[in-house]
Structure 1
Amino acid sequence: MNVKALSKDQYQESSTNYRVAWLAIALCSCFLFYKYVLQVSPSVMTGELMKAFNVNGAGLGNLAATFFYSYLVIQITSGPSLDRFGARFIGAIALFVSAAGAWIFAHATQLVWAETGRAMMGAGVAFATVTYLKVASTWFSAKRFAFLSGLVPTAVMVGAVFGQVPLAHVVSDEGWRRSLELVAVLGVILSVAFLLFVRDKKGSSNDVPMSEKVHWKDSLQVLKKPANWMLTLYSGLAFAPLAVFAGLWGNPFLTTTYHITTSQAASLTSLVFIGLGVGGPVFGLLSDYTGKRTSWMFIGGIITLVSVMAILYSHQLNHIELSVLMFLFGFGTGAFMIGFAMAKDLNSLLLAGTIVAMVNTGDAILGAITEPLVGYALDLGWHGKKVAGTPVFSTHDYVHSFSLLPIYLVLSLIFLALAAKMMKKGQYTI
Structure 2
Amino acid sequence: MVNKKSSMFSQLIAGYLLVIATSGFARLAYGVLMPSMQEDLAINYAQAGFLATIISLGFLVISTLIAVLAQKFGIKKIVLAGGFLVTVCLFLLSFAKSYYFVMLIMFLLGAGSSLAFAPLMSLMVIQFANKKGLVLGILLSGVGSGMLLSGIITTNLSDYFPSLGWRDIWTIFGTISLIVTLLSLFVLKESENKTNTKNNQNQSISKAFKNVKIIRIGIIYFLVGVGYLIPVLFQSSFMINSGFSEKIAGNVFALSGLSIIVGSPVFGMISDRIGRKNSLLITSILCMIAGILPVLNHHLIAFVAASILFPFSLGGFLVLIQSMAAERVSPSLVPAVLGYVSVFYSIGQLIGPSLAGAVIEKFGGIQSAYILASCIFLGTLIITSFVKENEKEEVLAVQTNPLSG
Report the TM range for the smaller structure's normalisation.
0.7 to 0.9
* 2:185 maps to which of 195, 199, 211: 195
Contact 2:93–2:102 (CA<8 Å) still a contact in 1? Answer: yes
| Aligned match of 1:167 | 154
AA paired with 1:180?
A: W
User: What does residue range 13-412 of structure 1 map to in structure 2 within 5 Å?
Assistant: 14-34=1-21, 35-142=23-130, 144-170=131-157, 173-203=163-193, 209=194, 218-246=204-232, 248-257=233-242, 259-290=243-274, 292-315=275-298, 317=299, 319-320=300-301, 322-336=303-317, 337-381=319-363, 397-412=365-380
Q: TM-score, normalised by structure 1?
A: 0.83
1:48 deviates by: 2.8
Contact 2:79–2:117 (CA<8 Å) still a contact in 1? Answer: no
Q: Report Cα offsets for 1:357-376 as digits up to 9, x if no partner.
A: 22222322111111112112
1:309 deviates by: 1.2
Which 10-residue stretch deviates more, 334-343 or 170-179?
Answer: 170-179
Contact 1:279–1:332 (CA<8 Å) still a contact in 2? Answer: yes
Contact 1:202–1:210 (CA<8 Å) still a contact in 2? Answer: no
Which 10-residue stretch deviates more, 215-224 or 71-80?
Answer: 215-224
1:223 deviates by: 1.0
Q: Report Cα offsets for 1:93-145 as digits up to 9, x if no partner.
A: 11111111122222112122111111111111113331332122222133x21
In 2, the alpha carbon distance for the partners of 1:415 and 1:80 equals 30
Cα 1:169–1:362 change in 2 (3 A) is farther
For residue 185 of structure 1, give the secondary structure of its aligned residue in structure 2. Answer: helix
Cα 1:236–1:273 change in 2 (3 A) is farther
Q: Report Cα offsets for 1:154-190 as digits up to 9, x if no partner.
A: 2111111111231234355411112212222222222
Contact 1:237–1:366 (CA<8 Å) still a contact in 2? Answer: yes
Cα 1:49–1:18 change in 2 (3 A) is same
Identity of matched residues, %:
17
AA paired with 2:221?
A: S
| Aligned match of 2:402 | none
Q: Report Cα offsets for 1:332-388 as digits up to 9, x if no partner.
A: 333312121111111121011111122222322111111112112222355xxxxxx
Contact 1:294–1:416 (CA<8 Å) still a contact in 2? Answer: yes
| Aligned match of 2:403 | none
Contact 1:377–1:401 (CA<8 Å) still a contact in 2? Answer: yes
Contact 1:238–1:412 (CA<8 Å) still a contact in 2? Answer: yes
Gaps of 5+ in 1: 1-13, 204-208, 383-396
Q: Report Cα offsets for 1:57-111 as digits up to 9, x if no partner.
A: 1111111221100001101222442355333222221111111112222211212
In 2, the alpha carbon distance for the partners of 1:193 and 1:67 equals 25
1:251 deviates by: 0.4
1:216 deviates by: 5.1
Number of equivalent positions? 390
In 2, the alpha carbon distance for the partners of 1:104 and 1:90 equals 21
Q: In terms of Rg, which structure is larger?
A: 1
For residue 108 of structure 1, give the secondary structure of its aligned residue in structure 2. Answer: coil
Q: Report Cα offsets for 1:244-274 as digits up to 9, x if no partner.
A: 212x1110101112x1111211211232332
Cα 1:240–1:170 change in 2 (3 A) is farther
| Aligned match of 1:11 | none
* 1:414 maps to which of 370, 382, 393: 382
For residue 418 of structure 1, give the secondary structure of its aligned residue in structure 2. Answer: coil
In 1, the alpha carbon distance for the partners of 2:368 and 2:385 equals 28
1:213 deviates by: 5.8
Aligned alpha-carbon RMSD (Å): 2.6
Which 10-residue stretch deviates more, 144-153 or 370-379?
Answer: 144-153
Cα 1:232–1:185 change in 2 (3 A) is same
In 2, the alpha carbon distance for the partners of 1:173 and 1:361 equals 40
In 2, the alpha carbon distance for the partners of 1:83 and 1:298 equals 35
In 1, the alpha carbon distance for the partners of 2:62 and 2:33 equals 26
AA paired with 1:176?
A: W
Cα 1:427–1:138 change in 2 (3 A) is closer
Contact 1:287–1:296 (CA<8 Å) still a contact in 2? Answer: yes
Contact 1:244–1:370 (CA<8 Å) still a contact in 2? Answer: yes
Contact 1:87–1:131 (CA<8 Å) still a contact in 2? Answer: yes
In 1, the alpha carbon distance for the partners of 2:56 and 2:10 equals 29
| Aligned match of 1:387 | none
Which 10-residue stretch deviates more, 125-134 or 80-89?
Answer: 80-89
Q: TM-score, normalised by structure 2?
A: 0.88
In 2, the alpha carbon distance for the partners of 1:369 and 1:126 equals 16
For residue 386 of structure 2, give the secondary structure of its aligned residue in structure 1. Answer: helix
